[in-house]
Structure 1
């Protein structure tokens, strides 16, 4: 084929097609930024490439940047995207007050909703407690522990309440939670759980569940093993 040539002569400028400069400024409309400060103990497990990609996925944000030194998370996107990302970070931070690792963060940000059961195995960390295993299902999603004989896990020890704590499987969230119902407190990874009225805390594989304050010098409790299917 012949080469395309400009056949317009000097006097034919009026016949030339109108051209306009392309304007990309509209792409920036609505893009905002927000900075969130994270607790120091969560910087290591939270500020990873994997978690960043998960946050971008669940929020749709344009970008998320870490500043590990200053403990800052910079979220860029629309107002809606930033709100989604910030709420996701708040949810992660709330549960990771009782221990943080990448697996826990992943389960919070991208929970599995196809799980039908959770096998909870509590491995004793002291000689006078026995190991305990219970499979939780949609039909029987929880069990209790305490001194009362009605508990699935009965623990006869000083400081343990009649109904001390509840472990609950939530299949719609793909998660297992622990709820403190005691007088003297239940401790997860060295930190006291909030009271029952304040809510429940995510329980993860590898957590240490204690029934007495570790600072008292007479701690006793379990290492948590979870198998979800």
Structure 2
């Protein structure tokens, strides 16, 4: 929290994005700084990893489902218009279908704006590889990740549709995939594309959102 405050005093810095904290390392003071400092982006990437308490313990995550949900509620109460993103792993050793359903339940409850979702794969020299057999069948992992991705796409589309008509300040990163298109990100780290108006990387542009997909906001630059 103190570091964010110090960085915000540096001339020329307009955005500070604090990302990927461990849920147990997010004190009240840090929530307040993100909420109150105008340079702190109202976006937090908060890794969930799994929604079941037993699986979280196996992962050594040191928080429970209820503690994670309580932290999310606290953040959203204190930080208006907070954009929340996360990481999730499916098919962790010994994870059952019922335990995977707990993860889906948390995803429905929180409604993350976006998520990085992965099938568990064994990595050498990790505690998990030494202690737990990779015993969830590959076809089951594939089924779970497919269902998770499908759910998250629906949630992300709904969240993005709420931005239709909104004007965002967009930090231009470069050219988009389509000819004559620029790409940038808003304060919430969402990708925004719009027709080239002569701006370049590092420029800030006001963009009105006219269309959306589950991954992208599409708009036009406005004065």
TM-score range normalised by the length of the shorter chain: under 0.3
TM-score by length of 1: 0.23
Which structure is higher in strand share?
1
Question: By percentage of residues, which structure has more helix?
Answer: 2
Q: For the pair shown, which has the larger CA radius of gyration, 1 or 2? A: 1
Q: TM-score, normalised by structure 2?
A: 0.23
